[in-house]
Structure 1
Amino acid sequence: MGKKTPLWAAIARTLREDIAEGRYVPGDKLPTEARLATRFGVNRHTVRHALLTLVDDGLVRTRRGAGAFVAARPTDYPLGKRVRFHENLLRAGRSPGRKILTLEPRIAGDTEAQMLDLAAGAQVLACHGLSLADGLPIAISESLFPITRLPGIAHALHDTPTVTAALRQSGVADYTRAATRLTAEVASATQALHLQILEGAPLLRSTSLNVGPDGVPVEYGHTWFAGDRVTLTLTDD
């Protein structure tokens, strides 16, 4: 009589097949331990053992208080002088997406005015947006554009699919990243809501300044990347 397969191993194999067949895709939440226990006719401890095996294999991630999710393959995202979100994701084999949350003209803060080389009290257009890869949110951002320097930038951002296209429509044929600063943070309640992660989850914040061909600043802002969904790499390009 052959050796019996442990129940937890059989459950793990079935869930692997479910994931491989696309029944659950990256980012999907798996059924609760209670529902899986009912499905397989076992106790929750056995289900938990199976899920931990999938976590060890890198197929599943668990979040305290939220459940178990199919692990999304981190998106490789290079940070260099010529950063282009849309092009970067296409190059990584991902489908890029962008959602504008708000477009709001306001007075630039002291640091913002200094970075954008503006006079005190100058207006900027604050663009809050959500970046997606294969439909999954990977970053939330606040970008500031000098209004008087970029005629029509609000309409361009609203009507065009990329920041590059919007800047081109506003008279900036090309731009490069002049400075980048990376810091680690934790997600606030509102950031977690947009990124579909838990409050307090790790984020990586990129603060950057982009300039046009003449070296004049055209964009300054912050991007908060979900720590488990993006692998940032620094390049010279």
Structure 2
Amino acid sequence: MVPPIRPLPPLYYRVFKTLEKRIQDRHYGLGERLPSEDALCRDFGVSRMTIRQALAGLVDAGLLTRRRGSGSYVSATGARRVSAQMKLTGALEDLFAEVGSARVDTARLAEAPPPPEVQGLMGLGDGEPVTVIHRVRAIEGQRFALTVNYLPVALGRRIAEPDLYRLPLLQVLEEKLGGRFQHARQTVEARLADAEVAAALGLEFGDPVLFVERLMFGRGPRPIEVVRSHYRADVYRYQIMLVRSSRAGFRWRRATRAARRTPERRPRERQTWQR
């Protein structure tokens, strides 16, 4: 019996898989612009519509990002994903410590009055200075995060320049403080890159970024440290596990340790660095 002839996959899918492999094999480097649609049409001998379908699939897969009027670029996500469980001593910062190739690209320390909203959070007087630490993080040469730490001058003056390049900085601060942070309050929101963030992360003004503010507390009511971070939206994703129960009705709630009744309900709150 002659086996049935299997139809070939659609053209756009074959183009998709070829480009996907090129990205995974680093034929196109991280952040590199792909050839134009016309060039890809000539390369594959297919129509522009076929190329656009393939590129759309790569964007959906997180391998490409599109910039209006500029073209398609290999996302800094690359083709691998590195995940880390959330914990107070970890959260955003420990994730990068666990990614072996993550490093602090540039860092600077100064004493200056903080922005008004940070001044209010820390309970400072008008014009009262704090230690301000700016750090840009990179992985495989791609800058992906700008973090600014605000902390009391008395603590900041104990920090030496080499400390700025250590990950996580939380460990450095606790060593200098001689104690432990008790808890933290973290807020995550979507924002648009201002001029400073765009310049630091290689973005265009107004590009979307993930903004994270974390308040670090000791035993007092005021935060000891305020941390503000901006992450490239094409390389960072925040995930939270939601659960339902008979008491929740049609509503979802975030998984907590109190909800750990079955293996399926183990709390999972994680941040995923995509490479």
TM range (shorter): 0.7 to 0.9
Alpha-carbon RMSD across the aligned residues, in angstroms, is 3.7
Paired amino acid for 1:63: R
CA separation of 1:202 and 1:159: change in aligned 2, threshold 3 A: closer
Q: Distance in 1 between matches of 2:23 and 2:17?
A: 10
Paired amino acid for 1:208: R
Consecutive unaligned residues in structure 1, runs of 5 or more: none
Secondary structure, aligned partner of 1:153: coil
Q: 1:29 aligns with which of 8, 30, 33?
A: 33
The number of aligned residues is 236
Paired amino acid for 1:32: S
CA separation of 1:32 and 1:154: change in aligned 2, threshold 3 A: farther
Q: 2:188 aligns with which of 172, 179, 182?
A: 182
Q: 1:193 aligns with which of 199, 207, 221?
A: 199
CA contact (8 A) 2:183 2:218 kept: no
CA contact (8 A) 1:209 1:217 kept: yes
CA contact (8 A) 1:105 1:125 kept: yes
**Could you tell which deviates more after superposition, 175-184 or 223-232?**
175-184
CA separation of 1:161 and 1:119: change in aligned 2, threshold 3 A: same
CA separation of 1:186 and 1:76: change in aligned 2, threshold 3 A: farther
Q: 2:89 aligns with which of 67, 82, 85?
A: 82
- 1:119-138 mapped onto 2 (5 Å cutoff): 119-138=125-144
Taking every aligned residue pair, what percent have the same amino acid on both sides? 24
Q: Distance in 2 between matches of 1:178 and 1:2?
A: 57
TM-score (norm 1): 0.75
Deviations along 1:64-89, whole A, 9 cap, x unmatched? 22321234166656665334545323
CA contact (8 A) 1:185 1:202 kept: yes
- 1:46-125 mapped onto 2 (5 Å cutoff): 46-71=50-75, 72=77, 76=83, 81-83=88-90, 85-91=92-98, 95-125=101-131
- Displacement, 1:186? 1.4
Q: Which residue of structure 1 aligns with residue 169 of structure 2?
A: 163
Matched, 1:224 2:224: no
Deviations along 1:80-122, whole A, 9 cap, x unmatched? 533454532355x563222334322112455433423444433
TM-score (norm 2): 0.66
Matched, 1:15 2:19: yes
Matched, 1:142 2:128: no
